[in-house]
């Protein structure tokens, strides 16, 4: 999880804890609920963005691995061809 996700999750949890423990008055309770809901939404948004970024990085990594596999196959084919030429002399 990203730091933003952790922060917003913590902040929302803290607001809920204050409400649950009766530390805040009725008016503050509604305000804190709105803050908690807003922070929860931000945490979900941040997590969604992190997942998108990770998917993009994974896709890029898969492309690089595919390219490396192609280079490996080309090098292997070149080595086999060189061995054939060496044996045919």
pTM: 0.58
pLDDT confidence of residue 77: 94
Instruction: Detail the DSSP E strand segments found in 1-89.
Output: none
pLDDT confidence of residue 1: 56
Distance between CA 54 and CA 74 in Å, rounded? Answer: 30
Distance between CA 82 and CA 76 in Å, rounded? Answer: 10
Distance between CA 39 and CA 15 in Å, rounded? Answer: 10
pLDDT confidence of residue 2: 64
pLDDT confidence of residue 50: 87
Q: Give per-10-residue mean pLDDT for the chain (89 aa).
A: 71 80 80 81 86 96 97 95 86
């Amino acid at each position: 999880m990203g730091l933003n996700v952790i922060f917003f999750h913590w902040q929302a949890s803290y607001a809920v804890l204050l409400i649950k423990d009766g530390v805040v008055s009725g008016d503050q309770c509604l305000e804190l609920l709105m803050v908690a809901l807003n922070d929860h939404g931000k945490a979900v948004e941040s997590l969604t963005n992190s997942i998108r970024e990770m998917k993009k990085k994974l896709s890029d990594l898969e492309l690089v691995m595919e390219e490396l596999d192609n280079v490996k196959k080309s090098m292997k084919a070149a080595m086999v061809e060189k061995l054939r030429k060496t044996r045919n002399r």
